[in-house]
Amino acid sequence: MTRPTVHEYASLSDDAKQALFKRSEADISSFMAKVEPIIEAVRTEGDAALVRFARELDKADVKPGGLKVTEAEFDAAFSMVDQEVIDAITFAIDNIRRFHEEQKPEAMWLKEIRPGAFAGDRFTPIRSVALYVPRGKGSFPSVTMMTAVPGVVAGVPDLAIVTPPAPDGSVDAATLVAARIAGVETVYKAGGAQAVAAVAFGTETIRPALKIVGPGSPFVVAAKRLLSGILDTGLPAGPSESVIFADDTIDGGLAALDLLIEAEHGPDSSAYLVTHSRRVADEAIAALPDLWSKMTAQRVEFSKTVLTGKAGGIVLTSSLEESYEFVNGYAPEHLEILSRDPFRHLGKITEASEILLGTHTPCSIANFGLGPNAVLPTSRWARTYGPLSVTDFVKRSSIGYVTASGYPDFAKAAFTLANYEGFSSHALAVSAERDRFLPKD
């Protein structure tokens, strides 16, 4: 019987506790070395490099001139996808759009700070954003929905998807369906580090973008880091990770069921069940064999690799306080709070990107269309980043407007501080010299 790794949290040293927090892509130096020549090839060779890497790295037959998905391919996708799947995509996109419409900031606000002086913010869409949709261990129309909808809601005029092609050179049909329903019809057949380089530099086919968003493999993460001086690489979204927090009010089998959700993404994922209840831990361990028997072989292999390795399993704490400590230290991408009274624990959790409450809100529902975005920061970046949102697709400009009546008080303060800091032209601009050049009423 395969058993998950059980970490007795209270008995671990500080170093051992910190080791539990380490993600698979935390040290990507080896990937960066591999990615550097890929980036340089795309920069210098353009489309030719993308076609070559599609063949060599993705084992995909992409023809020169065939990097962009055609309208005919979009149309064909709808005939290839079951209506039930199309309906599910439509349902999810409607929920995601409603959520992000509510999230959208007002275009501009301006308030009177003091009499005759106004200040505020204006939000305008970023001109061009690339949406990365992975495909390495499956097909992800859900990522298409989560990246495309907020971009469309924000009003980005140039949205384009980059996604790895299949061996026959096609793009996943459901991904194309989701893209069109969301409102994006520019899709390129490129993935991995080469796709990030393509949208950074542009090629004969792929237009350069100002920003890229979306999760990816360590190769994608490495390329984003290397190109961060050229391209806004957005929030850090790497391989999937989750924490299932369970108190002693729930069945451990339910905790095991939800523990498997993110663990099945791939061997580079991370997934923990954290509980202070040995009963819950034992019930979870007992439930896993039956649950694994109901999964596909590849996903079982991924899941077992994660849960028996160094980045997954069961964290058995000695108290609720220790469970809170682990969750906040781990700062997970996905957090479920399994409890009959989840709000009891919510106030104790400060470091998590997505917090799903109660026994009827598994990660599955959030991943596939509850509304909040499921593109989330990984590798403890939840401590400073939030989920992908409409605000990731807009930029903020500060607005200031001072009237003639409001000017004197501000000029006096600015003159004093400018002189104190030694900036003579700053002071001169708000001195009596200004009066010489102002229009006379």
Burial status of residue 22 (CB atoms within 10 A of its CB: 0-12, 13-18, 19 or more):
middle
Q: 52 by DSSP, 3-state: which?
A: helix
Phi, psi values for residue 130, rounded to 5° = -95, 140
User: For this structure, is 426 an active site residue?
Assistant: no
Cα dihedral sign, 165-167-168-174: negative
- Single out the catalytic residue among 25, 241, 262, 333: 333
Q: Is residue 132 left, alpha or beta, with left meaning phi > 0 and alpha meaning psi from -120 to 50? A: beta
Distance, first Cα to last Cα, the chain? 90
- At 26, which helix (H) or strand (E)? none
Reply yes or no on whether 102 is catalytic: no
Q: How far is CA 6 from the centre of its chain?
A: 29
Q: Could you tell me which of 256, 240, 181, 274 has the C-alpha nearest to residue 374?
A: 240
Choosing from 7, 265, 334, 345, the catalytic residue is: 334
Residue pair 376/388 in contact (Cβ under 8 Å)? The answer is yes
Question: Quick check: 147 and 388 in contact, CB under 8 A?
Answer: yes
Q: What are the structure tokens assigned to 385, written together?
A: 């980043």
Number of CB atoms found within 10 A of residue 14's CB: 7
Across 249-329, where does the E strand assignment appear? 270-275, 312-316
Q: Other CB atoms closer than 10 Å to residue 424's CB: what's the count?
A: 10
> How many whole angstroms separate alpha carbon 329 and alpha carbon 20?
10
The one-character DSSP state at 190 is -
Query: What residues contact residue 199 under an 8 Å CB cut-off, 6+ apart?
Result: 130, 160, 162, 206, 207, 208, 209, 212, 231
Contact status, residue 66 vs residue 169, Cβ threshold 8 Å: yes
The neighbour count for residue 83, using CB atoms within 10 Å, is: 8
Catalytic residues: 333-334
